[in-house]
Chain A
């Protein structure tokens, strides 16, 4: 069950296309609805958060990973199991802080940005900000408060996409969390 078969590229691309195109349409709609990029980024993060709190259950039900013992293990599970399962890519985990509470996920390619180009008047837009929300929401459900942001973005001219994740604290179990 834990073996992730190698899909032929065709099957793989088709399905991510529905997600990718839908995401693109959604971001476009958000840009129409909100005047400025900051607001759009915030909305994407919120929506990602709401997705993340549900996605974690789907993930835990379908992968056989147990509880992670430390942040390093969490990082590995995120990169090697979760990203592979949902987006078919395996980012690399690097740039650990000396305290071991911060790391980077480097994505050579980002499926969300297939077919996407940012127009000139949207320099502040973090197109894939949904991902940050998803990671944040998912981890909150397993009692970890984290800060997630994009450090590099191929859409804005960088060579790779880099997501920086920082562990803030453990969340006590009895704090209820709802949709934002």
Chain B
């Protein structure tokens, strides 16, 4: 929903201007987002510093899996609180759509921009302006760093689905920031 349509109960009517900062400052909801963003940055930095002595692939891999694991547990917790009162989903597609809409709005203040599926268990969720990348760059600069900042969210998605009874593997791919794609592959047992 465009910023200018935000309810006037939340921001003074004089503030329905296009300057993002002002609207952001007027609503507490936005503030939490930045707090989470800063915490997320520190968390990634910590895990990398703690888990990788040198720059070898194995240690980098373990840092990524630590972050993914953290995200997984948080995703489980979030979806549980969030779907307490909602009826269960009729199928996987329904659950993924819920993630794309309700969960994404809750976490990142916007929906997933594009969802594609092959109707055989693979879903691609595209976010054109992923909030955790938008401070980075508008292009390919720093792209090697991007995966570190996506893996926690991949974990959250996997954790959320897991608590809805869906096992999956979630990966992310970036070609031009701040857009990115999350790929969810449902695992059939």
Chain A residues in the interface with B (C-beta under 8 A): 1, 3-5, 7, 11-12, 14-19, 21-26, 29-30, 33, 43, 47, 50-51, 54-55, 58, 61-63, 84-88, 115, 130
Contacts and interface: CB of A to CB of B under 8 A. Distances in A.
Contacts of B24: 62
B66 interface: yes
Contact of B32 (A4, A24, A55, A86): A86
Nearest to A58: B34
Contacts of A19: 32, 35-36, 39
Contact of B38 (A11, A54, A63): A54
B119 interface: no
Nearest to B11: A5
A7 B46 contact: no
Given A18-B78, A21-B74, A50-B45, A7 B29 contact: yes
A23 B39 contact: yes
Given A1-B26, A18-B78, A21-B78, 20 more contacts: A1-B12, A5-B27, A7-B29, A12-B28, A14-B82, A15-B32, A15-B33, A18-B36, A18-B106, A19-B35, A21-B74, A24-B74, A26-B46, A50-B42, A51-B38, A55-B34, A55-B35, A62-B21, A62-B24, A62-B31
Contacts of B106: 14-15, 18
A12 B31 CA distance: 10
Complex A-B, nearest 5 residue pairs according to Cβ-Cβ distance, in ascending order: A62-B25, A15-B32, A25-B70, A5-B10, A47-B42
Contacts of B36: 15, 18-19, 22
Q: From A4, A21, A47, name the one whose CB has the most chain B CB atoms within 10 angstroms.
A: A21
Contacts of B10: 5, 7
B61 interface: no
A17 B103 CA distance: 12
A12 B29 CA distance: 6
Nearest to A33: B50
* Size bracket of the B interface: 35 or more
B43 interface: yes
B3 interface: no
B4 interface: no
Contacts of B129: none
Interface in B60-114: 66, 70-71, 73-74, 77-78, 81-82, 106-107
B40 interface: yes
B78 A17 contact: yes
B22 interface: yes
Contacts of A26: 39, 43, 46, 70
Contact of A85 (B11, B28, B70): B28
B39 A3 contact: no
Nearest to B40: A22
A4 B107 contact: no
A21 B77 contact: yes
B9 interface: yes
